[in-house]
Amino acid sequence: AKKWINIRKSYGNFYKVPRNQTKLTIMLEKLGMNYDGRPHSGLDDSKNIARIAIRMLQDGCELRVNERMHAGQLMTVSSSAPLEGAPAPQMPRYRN
């Protein structure tokens, strides 16, 4: 992967909380959720991160790529940068 969404960054920016409140268990707790599964299990961590992402979307967050690798260096992507590779939104077509 050369670009991705860092949920911790997105969560902190969206809910206006400091980085020390973006640990997985704290994010879940603040959203009123319990941790499902075994801590530090890659699969269970991923499922819990997905639950956080879903809640953020429901709360109106627009999740965007916010980190990428360039020449072996981790880089932050500006939130004002256009979405890469996303198709332009289109109005739904209705048949009469």
Read off the pLDDT of residues 37-52 as tens digits, 9 standing for 90 and up: 998 899 999 999 999 9
Mean pLDDT score, 2-12: 94
Q: Which residues contact 39 (CB under 8 A, 6 or more apart)?
A: 25, 45
> What is residue 89's predicted lDDT score, i.e. its pLDDT?
44
* Spatial contact of 66 and 76, defined as CB atoms under 8 Å apart: yes
> What is residue 93's predicted lDDT score, i.e. its pLDDT?
54
Q: What is the pLDDT of residues 71-96, one digit of tens each?
A: 888 889 886 554 444 444 444 555 55
> What is residue 94's predicted lDDT score, i.e. its pLDDT?
54
- CATH number for the segment(s) 1-74: 3.30.420.10
Percent of the chain beyond pLDDT 70?
81
